[in-house]
Amino acid sequence: MAERIVIIGGGMVGLAFAITCQYALPHADILVLEARPLPTGTPDPLDTRASALNLASQSILSALGVWRSLEVSAGVISQIHVSHQAHFGSAMIEGSDLGVPDLGYVVENHIIGRGLKERADAVGVTIKAPCEVEYLSTSDAQPAIYLATGEILYADLVIVADGNQSSLRHQLGIDVEWRRTGQHAVVANVSFAGSQQGIAFERFTPSGPMALLPLASSVPSEQRFNVVWSLTEGRARDLMTLDDEAFLVDLQRHFGWRLGRALRVGRRNTWPLDRVRVREQSRSGFLVAGNAAHGIHPVAGQGLNLSLRDAASLGATLKVASAGGRNLGDIATARDYEHKVLPDQGRIIDATDLLSTLFEPRGMAFDLPRDVALTSLDLIRPLRRHIAERGTGLDTLTNPAWEALFSAPVLSAV
């Protein structure tokens, strides 16, 4: 009988894991269960959410046959400008620091979701939505999934990708380290006059870090940016109550005039930015993935990128396990996976934690070294190269673990 993998959660991560599993095991039966109806339609260009995808993600998505449907709608990041509001230090990181034309891409989440869904359908993944999972059982002979409809499904492996608030990981007895950061993100698309130059901005303000990610133009005379501004809860609440004009004035006061006058803002959303990290990622027959395993601060835009690398590592692990006649849900298979992903996860979580607090207001004694560090980053190319390699994921592309899944030329194609 064909091996069966059930993925719970049809968010960007659940779908990416599904495609990767099908790619690794073409004959396996891969099923995604998503509680909500999958979104359809196209939101207003000023009301969309977006994700920065780094070069490693682009490479993985290309290898999985997803990138071609995202490429045409991707905003290009050719430079990253890092600055500290009201301080002298700033730095510009460019593709030439790494010998690549672009440092990454910004794609709207509804486009990523649609591209993943279409590819999942094309490779033979079955998606059931709406379909809510109520309960997981570890005591049956096989991993068992109890649906809200009363139906029970069995699988060789269950991947739990049900998001930050995952109730299912709790049922598996998987403990989480939950750190309240006290920060909230205010997210909105903002447009400025002029054509898109492909510069992403990371600005450290006294209220918190602010990222402006360049979106593909929807109107030639306006450049759209996805703004992710991390703030204290009270400050985020205040920003949410401002009218559009007052919000743009506040944004401009903190961001400055590098892009000229901010013209328009779309619908604003806000999220708490708690840091969630599971203490274990598996039980026999079960794995947790995506935000259910690690919900990290969006300051460096790494959450989805990290999960795409996790997916590639799982695909490689399952391919080897299946070829060796091992059960996909064996705890030894889970350990192989964890061995591959834990160092990468730890490195990204620690770096993101550090970056989210590095520029918090701490007085003049801290300002000078931070500004000197930013200026040094601007002046010292090997330092810029080191940081750019981490951010773009280029340092992970030669991951030997993935060779079982992808051919080396695919991964060096960026």
Ligand X SMILES: Cc1cc2nc3c(=O)[nH]c(=O)nc-3n(C[C@H](O)[C@H](O)[C@H](O)COP(=O)(O)OP(=O)(O)OC[C@H]3O[C@@H](n4cnc5c(N)ncnc54)[C@H](O)[C@@H]3O)c2cc1C
Binding mask 123-142 for ligand X (x = CB under 6 A): ---------xx---------
Minimal distance in Å, beta carbon 25 to ligand X?
A: 21
Under the binding rule (CB under 6 A), the answer on residue 6 touching ligand X is no
Q: Binding ligand X by CB under 6 A: which of 5, 7, 13, 312?
A: 13
107 or 411: CB nearest ligand X: 107
Minimal distance in Å, beta carbon 44 to ligand X?
A: 18
Minimal distance in Å, beta carbon 229 to ligand X?
A: 9
Minimal distance in Å, beta carbon 326 to ligand X?
A: 26
Under the binding rule (CB under 6 A), the answer on residue 391 touching ligand X is no
Distant-in-sequence, close-in-space partners of 31: CB < 8 Å, separation ≥ 6: 4, 5, 6, 7, 125, 126, 127, 128, 153, 155
Under the binding rule (CB under 6 A), the answer on residue 160 touching ligand X is no
DSSP 30: E
Total binding residues for ligand X by CB under 6 A? 32
Q: Binding ligand X by CB under 6 A: which of 51, 73, 317, 345?
A: 51
Confirm if 104 and 130 have CB atoms less than 8 A apart.
Answer: no
Under the binding rule (CB under 6 A), the answer on residue 34 touching ligand X is yes
Under the binding rule (CB under 6 A), the answer on residue 228 touching ligand X is yes
268 or 321: CB nearest ligand X: 268
Phi, psi of 154, deg, nearest 5: -120, 150
d(CA 96, CA 102): 8
Under the binding rule (CB under 6 A), the answer on residue 174 touching ligand X is no
Under the binding rule (CB under 6 A), the answer on residue 163 touching ligand X is yes
Of 340, 296, 17, nearest to 158 by C-alpha is 17
- Of 32-40, 199-207, 277-285, 324-332, the window that binds ligand X (rule: CB under 6 A) is 32-40
Minimal distance in Å, beta carbon 376 to ligand X?
A: 26
Tell me which amino acid residue 22 is. Q
- CA–CA distance from 226 to each of 89, 267, 301, 375 (Å)? 24, 11, 12, 26
Minimal distance in Å, beta carbon 186 to ligand X?
A: 9
Of 206, 207, 212, nearest to 187 by C-alpha is 212
Under the binding rule (CB under 6 A), the answer on residue 19 touching ligand X is no
Under the binding rule (CB under 6 A), the answer on residue 120 touching ligand X is no
Of 128, 155, 231, nearest to 187 by C-alpha is 231
Q: Binding ligand X by CB under 6 A: which of 12, 216, 251, 312?
A: 12
Minimal distance in Å, beta carbon 279 to ligand X?
A: 18
301 or 329: CB nearest ligand X: 301
Distant-in-sequence, close-in-space partners of 304: CB < 8 Å, separation ≥ 6: 12, 13, 51, 53, 57
d(CA 257, CA 261): 7
Binding mask 272-311 for ligand X (x = CB under 6 A): ------------------xx------x--xxxxx-x----
Would you put residue 242 in left (φ > 0), alpha (ψ -120 to 50) or beta? beta
Burial profile 15-40: b = 16 or more Cβ within 10 angstroms, e = fewer: bbbbbbbbbbbeebbbbbbbbeeeee
Under the binding rule (CB under 6 A), the answer on residue 35 touching ligand X is yes
Neighbour-count burial of 71, counting CB atoms closer than 10 A to its CB (0-12 exposed, 13-18 middle, 19+ buried): middle
CA angle 341, 346, 347 (to 5 degrees): 105
Under the binding rule (CB under 6 A), the answer on residue 10 touching ligand X is yes
Under the binding rule (CB under 6 A), the answer on residue 33 touching ligand X is yes
Confirm if 192 and 262 have CB atoms less than 8 A apart.
Answer: yes
Which chain residues interact with ligand X by CB under 6 A? Answer: 8-14, 33-36, 51-52, 132-133, 161-163, 168, 185, 187, 228, 271, 290-291, 298, 301-305, 307
